[in-house]
């Protein structure tokens, strides 16, 4: 039993793995966030608020209660999770307990991406039913605790049980009040080509936060934050992780107050959201996943990795080794024809590559990025035999064939736009702001969604496509829809996401064998929402190996290696101009879904030999990389080196990777201390034959040979 209710203390105890989460019902009936952290043997925590000293009488008591879902009621002046405008026009609601249910397993969230169970024994769910008597608004708070990790998935369902319309103006997915004010906030900031850079800052007495108002989770901020103790490191100390399973505008807000507590809320961004609820209608928020790590950031990340890899990603590719691919983007950009592509494919076949991906430029008259999005018809000048012809040739060489699409977009210079100028997001009378000379199709409209499903399906069902790269290269500007009435225009941003999720659900379930990879100007929409439909994401357009150390390290704070596209590209690198060796580029790329992004036909014989050996290695270890336990060992943000390791799911092998960014003279020997091994087990280094105890590898460490700038070292140690 993972969830217990004590009628005497009116507490709910959610307990699994090393985690407890306790909800108490206040005498008034509102749920309080009594505890979240290391597992407890008793949830008798009523004393925490009963014995709480009363403060000055001029400040409402509500300001010091730990709230489960704060609405500002009774004078809680901290960050609200929810505000509903009722018939009177005010936004005051007081949600009180009515009933609860405890269910085995986890109900799905219709229309939204979410974590799931395959067997009801994997989790239990608490549904807390609350009601605001005056407005007739009802709220159902849902909490699922997963047995394996103690991760808690939360979402909220609103119902208008009154006779009058009401409007949600703020509807967060979760809120927590942690005791203490000396917390630090970790988040992942970025921009194009520098996505998911970790930043750690003190939580102020006041408010801080991260958000997206882009209509996509975006390059700038990831829908993730963690609260950590100041002393927490990668391998020690407490950490509380918050991840939103959503791909659109979001907000995460946190602040500490005078009463020794810190609140964090996460969910839809109220700046881009209101929702009209007619009598009888319901609204469900996206899911938030809360993960407690007792032993440093790695312990939190490993729980996110295992949950997202196995119970967020779906489909046949979830557990299938991902193919080694070559993508023609940085090899040719728009300047290709069938011969050029086949030269790459021929070399790829010799090297053991398994999938060829044709990127942007195969349709309409798209020879630059200023036209043709929306016209998904092959360009016969470039590909006289059509996609079918090319696909046949690629298959004949023994490779799978993948194709790039950007289905959510339309170029003003396209047949689609000329036929349907009202199909893009726009506000009548205002300039339609173009980015990369393109506009965004209005996926809040059913007819537009249908067009996308039909256009993409027509190609997938006739052209022998095994893989799709689903790109999205700009963010929202004038986010209006031609079909919605004025009182619903602020719903466009979320309705767009619901439309996109419907489209993705339909296409991915219609083509279950196809491997889908999402992309957004690199990693501008790398979030759990997308991973529910597409199990891998292009990490970044920055393909420089040294930059990739940071990108892969930062991304791994939340996301598993099996979700990260990682390619070897040409030198000098197209983004940084840096030259690194083929060996280093390969060793960095093997930490994700490995591939190439360069003109293979131009490689030297020496580079071909290095790449071939690397491809052979990847095929041997990809099960460990993609399904194993990933641990960050040395941070590239802290100095001039980086290291990480992958431990096989059954513990039988460890792959340790060390990278030197800039070397220094006269340096002492580097010892790389591994983690998570069995202390008394013996591990053989496959290169040297030397055998070590696990305790020795973890305590004294592995000697890393002296290294030069931009170099790498990969060790495989197999348990005996």
473 binds ligand DGJ (CB under 6 A): yes
Q: How far is the CB of 376 from ligand DGJ (least distance, A)?
A: 14
Pick the closer one to ligand DGJ by CB: 131 or 541. Answer: 541
358: exposed, middle or buried (Cβ count in 10 Å: 0-12, 13-18, 19+): buried
Instruction: Report how far residue 482's alpha carbon sits from residue 448's, in angstroms, rounded to the nearest whole number.
Output: 12
Instruction: Report how far residue 672's alpha carbon sits from residue 644's, in angstroms, rounded to the nearest whole number.
Output: 10
Q: How far is the CB of 383 from ligand DGJ (least distance, A)?
A: 17
Judged by CB under 6 A, the number of residues near ligand DGJ is 11
**Binding positions for ligand DGJ, 653-712, rule CB under 6 A:** none
Pick the closer one to ligand DGJ by CB: 131 or 360. Answer: 360
Of these residues, 132, 272, 375, 541, which one is catalytic? 541
Among 195, 471, 517, 547, binds ligand DGJ (CB under 6 A): 471
Pick the closer one to ligand DGJ by CB: 299 or 473. Answer: 473
Pick the closer one to ligand DGJ by CB: 140 or 247. Answer: 247
CA dist list (Å): 643 to 197, 553, 639: 16, 9, 11
Instruction: Report how far residue 539's alpha carbon sits from residue 592's, in angstroms, rounded to the nearest whole number.
Output: 9
Ramachandran quadrant class, 701 (left: phi over 0; alpha: psi -120 to 50; beta: rest): left
Contacts of 534-538 with C-beta under 8 Å, sequence gap 24+, read: 534/470, 534/504, 534/508, 535/313, 535/314, 535/315, 535/317, 535/318, 535/562, 535/563, 536/317, 536/322, 536/562, 536/563, 536/564, 536/565, 536/593, 537/563, 537/564, 537/565, 538/469, 538/565
Q: How far is the CB of 471 from ligand DGJ (least distance, A)?
A: 5
Q: Binding marks (x or -) toward ligand DGJ, 541..560, rule CB under 6 A?
A: x-------------------
Pick the closer one to ligand DGJ by CB: 291 or 403. Answer: 403
What is the number of other CB atoms lying within 10 angstroms of the CB of residue 110? Answer: 7
Pick the closer one to ligand DGJ by CB: 63 or 367. Answer: 367
Of these residues, 466, 471, 527, 542, which one is catalytic? 471
What is the number of other CB atoms lying within 10 angstroms of the CB of residue 356? Answer: 31
Among 124, 131, 238, 360, binds ligand DGJ (CB under 6 A): 360
| Nearest residue to ligand DGJ, by Cβ distance, number only | 360
Among 65, 146, 308, 329, binds ligand DGJ (CB under 6 A): 329
**Binding positions for ligand DGJ, 393-412, rule CB under 6 A:** 404
Q: How far is the CB of 372 from ligand DGJ (least distance, A)?
A: 11
Question: Which among 190, 171, 189 is positioned nearest to 112, based on CA atoms?
Answer: 171
Q: How many helices (H) and strands (E) does the chain have?
A: 13, 38
Contact assessment for residue 121 and residue 22, using Cβ atoms and an 8 Å cutoff: no
- Burial readout 411-420 (b: 16 or more C-beta within 10 A, e: otherwise): bbbbebbeeb
**Binding positions for ligand DGJ, 82-141, rule CB under 6 A:** none
Q: How far is the CB of 538 from ligand DGJ (least distance, A)?
A: 5
Number of residues that make up the chain: 720
Is 685 a residue of the active site?
A: no
What are the DSSP calls for 194-242, one per residue? S--EEEEEEPPBS-EEEEE-SSS-TTTEEEEEEEE-TT--SSSS-EEEE
243: exposed, middle or buried (Cβ count in 10 Å: 0-12, 13-18, 19+): buried
Contact assessment for residue 410 and residue 424, using Cβ atoms and an 8 Å cutoff: yes
Q: Given the structure tokens 């939580």, which residue do they identify?
A: 203
Pick the closer one to ligand DGJ by CB: 521 or 591. Answer: 521
Contact assessment for residue 307 and residue 300, using Cβ atoms and an 8 Å cutoff: no
- Burial readout 374-384 (b: 16 or more C-beta within 10 A, e: otherwise): bbbebbeebbe
CA dist list (Å): 720 to 116, 653, 678: 36, 9, 11
Pick the closer one to ligand DGJ by CB: 6 or 437. Answer: 437
210 Cβ contact list (under 8 Å, min separation 6): 187, 189, 221, 225, 251, 252
Contact assessment for residue 161 and residue 137, using Cβ atoms and an 8 Å cutoff: yes
241 binds ligand DGJ (CB under 6 A): no
What are the DSSP calls for 659-703, one per residue? EESS--TT---EEE---S--TT-EEEETTT--EEEHHHHHHT-EE
What backbone phi and psi angles, to 5 degrees, belong to 212? -130, 135
Task: Give the DSSP H or E segment for 718.
Answer: strand 711-719
Pick the closer one to ligand DGJ by CB: 420 or 525. Answer: 525
Q: How far is the CB of 371 from ligand DGJ (least distance, A)?
A: 12
Q: How far is the CB of 327 from ligand DGJ (least distance, A)?
A: 7
Q: How far is the CB of 698 from ligand DGJ (least distance, A)?
A: 39
Instruction: Report how far residue 325's alpha carbon sits from residue 708's, in angstroms, rounded to the nearest whole number.
Output: 29
Among 124, 159, 195, 359, binds ligand DGJ (CB under 6 A): 359
68 binds ligand DGJ (CB under 6 A): no
Q: Binding marks (x or -) toward ligand DGJ, 277..316, rule CB under 6 A?
A: ----------------------------------------
Q: How far is the CB of 361 from ligand DGJ (least distance, A)?
A: 8
Q: How far is the CB of 406 from ligand DGJ (least distance, A)?
A: 7
Q: How far is the CB of 626 from ligand DGJ (least distance, A)?
A: 21
Pick the closer one to ligand DGJ by CB: 259 or 333. Answer: 333
Instruction: Report how far residue 285's alpha carbon sits from residue 699's, in angstroms, rounded to the nearest whole number.
Output: 46
Q: How far is the CB of 480 from ligand DGJ (least distance, A)?
A: 26
**Binding positions for ligand DGJ, 497-526, rule CB under 6 A:** 519, 521-522
Among 146, 467, 538, 683, binds ligand DGJ (CB under 6 A): 538
Q: Given the structure tokens 């014989």, which residue do they identify?
A: 605
701: exposed, middle or buried (Cβ count in 10 Å: 0-12, 13-18, 19+): middle
Contact assessment for residue 225 and residue 185, using Cβ atoms and an 8 Å cutoff: yes
Pick the closer one to ligand DGJ by CB: 263 or 474. Answer: 474
Q: How far is the CB of 404 from ligand DGJ (least distance, A)?
A: 6
Q: Tell me which DSSP letter residue 112 carries.
A: S
Is 541 a residue of the active site?
A: yes
Pick the closer one to ligand DGJ by CB: 376 or 658. Answer: 376
User: Taking CA 473 as the corner, what is the angle to CA 361 and CA 402, rounded to the nearest 5 degrees?
Assistant: 45
Axis-axis angle for helices 605-627, 582-589 (nearest 10): 20
Pick the closer one to ligand DGJ by CB: 175 or 555. Answer: 555
Query: Which residues are the active-site residues?
Result: 471, 541
Question: What does the binding site for ligand DGJ look like in residue numbers (CB under 6 A)?
Answer: 329, 359-360, 404, 471, 473, 519, 521-522, 538, 541
């Amino acid at each position: 039993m993972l969830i217990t209710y004590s009628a005497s203390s009116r507490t709910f105890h959610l307990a699994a793995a090393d985690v407890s989460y306790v909800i108490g019902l206040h005498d008034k009936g509102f749920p309080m966030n009594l505890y979240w952290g290391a597992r407890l043997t008793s949830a008798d925590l009523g004393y925490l608020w009963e014995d709480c000293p009363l403060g000055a009488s001029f400040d409402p008591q509500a300001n010091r209660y730990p709230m489960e879902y704060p609405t500002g009621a009774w004078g809680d002046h901290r960050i609200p999770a929810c505000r509903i405008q009722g018939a009177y026009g005010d936004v005051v609601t007081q949600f009180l307990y009515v009933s609860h249910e405890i269910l085995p397993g986890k109900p799905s969230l219709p229309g939204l991406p979410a974590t799931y169970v395959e067997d009801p024994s994997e989790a239990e769910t608490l549904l807390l039913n609350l009601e605001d008597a005056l407005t007739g608004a009802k709220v159902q708070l849902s909490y699922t605790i997963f047995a394996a990790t103690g991760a808690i998935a939360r979402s909220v369902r609103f119902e208008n049980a009154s006779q009058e319309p009401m409007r949600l103006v703020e509807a967060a997915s979760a809120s927590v009040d942690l005791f203490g004010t000396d917390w630090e906030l970790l988040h992942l900031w970025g921009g194009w080509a520098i996505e998911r850079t970790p930043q750690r800052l003190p939580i102020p007495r006041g408010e801080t936060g991260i958000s997206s108002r882009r209509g996509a989770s975006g390059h700038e901020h990831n829908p993730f934050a963690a609260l950590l103790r100041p002393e927490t490191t990668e391998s020690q100390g407490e950490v509380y992780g918050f991840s939103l399973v959503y791909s659109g505008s979001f907000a995460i807000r946190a602040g500490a107050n005078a009463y020794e507590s810190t609140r964090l809320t996460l969910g839809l961004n109220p700046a881009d959201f209101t929702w009209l609820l007619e009598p009888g209608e319901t609204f469900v928020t996206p899911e938030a996943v809360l993960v407690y790590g007792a032993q440093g950031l790695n312990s939190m990340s490993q729980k996110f990795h295992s949950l997202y890899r196995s119970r967020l990603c779906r489909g046949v590719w979830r557990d299938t080794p991902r193919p080694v691919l070559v993508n023609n983007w940085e090899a040719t950009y728009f300047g290709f024809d069938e011969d050029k592509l086949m030269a790459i494919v021929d070399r790829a076949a010799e090297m053991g590559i398994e999938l060829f991906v044709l990127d942007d430029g195969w349709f309409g008259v798209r020879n630059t990025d200023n036209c043709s999005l929306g016209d998904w018809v092959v360009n016969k000048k470039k590909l006289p035999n059509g996609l079918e012809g090319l696909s046949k040739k690629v298959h004949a060489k023994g490779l799978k064939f993948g194709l790039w699409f950007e289905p959510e977009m339309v170029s003003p210079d396209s047949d689609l736009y000329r036929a349907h100028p009202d199909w893009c997001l726009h506000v009548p009378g205002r300039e339609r702001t173009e980015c990369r000379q393109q506009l965004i199709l209005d996926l809040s409209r059913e007819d537009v969604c249908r067009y996308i499903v039909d256009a993409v399906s027509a190609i997938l069902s006739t052209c022998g496509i095994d893989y799709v790269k689903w790109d999205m290269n700009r963010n929202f500007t004038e986010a209006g829809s031609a079909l919605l009435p004025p009182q619903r225009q602020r719903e466009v941003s979320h309705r767009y996401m619901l439309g996109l999720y419907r489209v993705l659900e339909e296409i991915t379930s219609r083509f279950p064998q196809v491997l889908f990879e999402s992309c957004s100007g690199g990693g501008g929409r790398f979030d759990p929402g997308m991973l529910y439909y597409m199990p891998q994401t292009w990490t970044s357009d920055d393909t420089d190996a040294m930059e990739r150390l940071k990108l892969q390290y930062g991304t791994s704070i939340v996301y598993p290696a099996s979700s990260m596209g990682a390619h070897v590209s040409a030198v000098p690198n197209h983004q940084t101009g840096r030259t690194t060796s083929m060996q280093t580029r390969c060793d960095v790329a093997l930490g994700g879904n490995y591939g190439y992004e360069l003109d293979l036909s131009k490689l030297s014989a020496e580079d071909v030999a290095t790449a071939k050996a690397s491809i052979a290695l990847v095929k041997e270890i990809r099960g460990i990389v993609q399904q194993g336990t990933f641990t960050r060992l040395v941070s590239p943000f802290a100095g001039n080196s980086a290291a990480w390791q992958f431990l096989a799911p059954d513990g039988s092998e460890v792959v340790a990777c060390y990278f030197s960014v800039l070397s220094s003279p006269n340096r002492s020997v580097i010892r790389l201390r591994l983690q998570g091994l069995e202390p008394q087990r013996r591990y053989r280094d496959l290169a040297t034959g030397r055998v070590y105890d696990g305790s020795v590898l973890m305590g004294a460490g592995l000697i890393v040979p002296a290294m030069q700038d931009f170099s790498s070292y990969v060790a495989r140690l197999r348990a005996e």
